Amino acid sequence: MSGVRPRLSHVGPNTYTATAAIKGGQVGEAFNGGIRPCSAGSLLVLGVAETDAKPWVDPVSVDADGFDVVNANPLPTETVAGFGRYVVTYTANAAFGQALQAGAAGAVTPVAADVDPRLVIGYCDEPGGVVVATKATGLANISR
């Protein structure tokens, strides 16, 4: 989801260097001085990435015949991430207003009843909730 923009942002966004490929709309976590898609249960959430980015690679490579190949349009190496209302991917069904935590691969997932409160990063803000079998994306208010 390249070019994701917040519906309402109350903090940031801030610019981070990509330490792994990240797409707009993925929840990012701190890693090696930059940002990458969050892992499940992350306590290091930096916000939702608003643009696609990947770590720097040499734009010149060599093809099978030994000729230089130049990638004339590489992805940026930095993205901005912020807190607020974003369309994100859910890994499980969530009710409107249900608390969320970081899920695998930059997604969000509803929290269990007995979860550590430090894991809560926001809540489901999709009217009517999110049913993953129907549509795995929906609004979330990411506020941590």
CA angle 39, 23, 15 (to 5 degrees): 90
pLDDT-based confidence at residue 2 (cuts at 50, 70, 90)? low
Which residue matches tokens 């792994």? 20
For CA atoms 86, 90, 93, 98, the dihedral sign is: negative
State whether residue 39 is helix, strand or coil: coil
Q: Which residue has the higher pLDDT, 11 or 109?
A: 109
Q: Given this model, what pLDDT does residue 69 score?
A: 85
pLDDT tier at 85 (50, 70, 90 boundaries)? very high
29, 44 contact by CB (below 8 A): yes
Given a cut of 80, whether residue 82 has pLDDT beyond it is: yes
CATH code of the region 8-57+70-142: 2.40.300.10
